[in-house]
Amino acid sequence: MGSSRAPERDAAALGRAPAVLLVLSGLALVVLLLPVVSLLVRTPWTQLADRLTSPEILDALRLSLVSATTAAALSLLLGVPLAWLLARVDFRGRALVRALVTVPLVLPPVVGGIALLMAFGRRGVVGGPVYDAFGLTIPFTTTAVVLAQTFVALPFLVISVEGALRSADLRYDEVAATLGAGRWATFRTVTLPLAAPGVISGTVLAWARALGEFGATITFAGNFPGTTRTMPLEIYTARQADEGASLVLSAILLAISVLVLASLRERWIGGTPA
């Protein structure tokens, strides 16, 4: 009990929080929450039942959930080894590789879509030879949706897992090595379990980012109902003719994202459940 009260005593010793920090914190919350609250206030909830049973909405929702889950799984498969490489192995150019990993975070979405077209388009660096050899095209397909979502979501997982690996005690790896475990065995039985919270949080963030992806998707995959029209694209389409529908769909997507993130918030931000 005494140790649990120590932080309270320390906080009391430091005195009250400075007013300027409280004011700026309040403004930050307003910036973050005002748009969301405004959306919820303006949403015509009476249309919710009709929208949820609409075949177009159900198709877009199904495609969003399937493609975002697939993109998160791909990010997990590819991102964990890359994060381990960045956190555990010293090699020339590591800082450059780390910088390149974060490029999709700052790249304008439409530029990301064009870059994907240049890589996987019918005349792209990879897509061209694939089309010439097998007649397969990737752009404007469901595969393109998953690729676009993976492109923007992967950095979130890599950054999260790398941070978890860096904070994990390296001595456990060293003890495993002294007991005769190889690096692969150490990775599977020691490193990965220690980094599990970071892996979970990175996967959730990657999934949430993939679910909300819009710019690269519409540029690389197009906006075809049932094939590439995800929920963000459905919202964009509905916005052209029916503002109420776009608000309802936005609220649905917001609810799904918040529900998933809130259910895992303890692992995500290291907080405690209410």
185: burial class by Cβ within 10 Å (0-12, 13-18, 19+)? middle
In order, the DSSP letters of 96-113 are HHHHHHTHHHHS-HHHHH
**With 90 as the cut, is the pLDDT of residue 262 above it?**
no
pLDDT digits (tens, 9 = 90+) for 81-93: 999 999 988 889 9
Q: What pLDDT sits at residue 117?
A: 94
Distance in angstroms (rounded) separating the CA atoms of residues 166 and 119: 32
Backbone angles phi, psi at 133, to 5 degrees: -85, -40
Q: Using CA atoms, how far apart are residues 229 and 68, in angstroms rounded to an integer?
A: 13
pLDDT higher than threshold 60 for residue 273: no
Q: What's the longest Cα–Cα distance across the chain?
A: 72
pLDDT attached to residue 5: 60
Give the residue ranges of DSSP H helices in the chain.
Answer: 2-14, 19-42, 48-52, 55-88, 94-101, 103-106, 109-120, 127-134, 142-167, 170-178, 183-186, 192-194, 196-211, 215-220, 231-241, 243-263, 265-269
Residue 188, C-beta contacts closer than 8 angstroms, at least 6 positions apart: none
| pLDDT of 228 higher than 80 | yes
Comparison of pLDDT for 169 and 62, the residue scoring more: 62
Identity (one letter) of the amino acid at 66?
Answer: V
The per-residue pLDDT for 4 is 53
**Phi, psi angle pair for 213, to nearest 5°:** -65, 135
pLDDT at 253: 87
pTM: 0.83
* Contact (Cβ atoms closer than 8 angstroms) between residue 227 and residue 142: yes
pLDDT band at 1; cut points 50, 70, 90: very low
Q: How many CB atoms lie within 10 A of CB 214?
A: 18
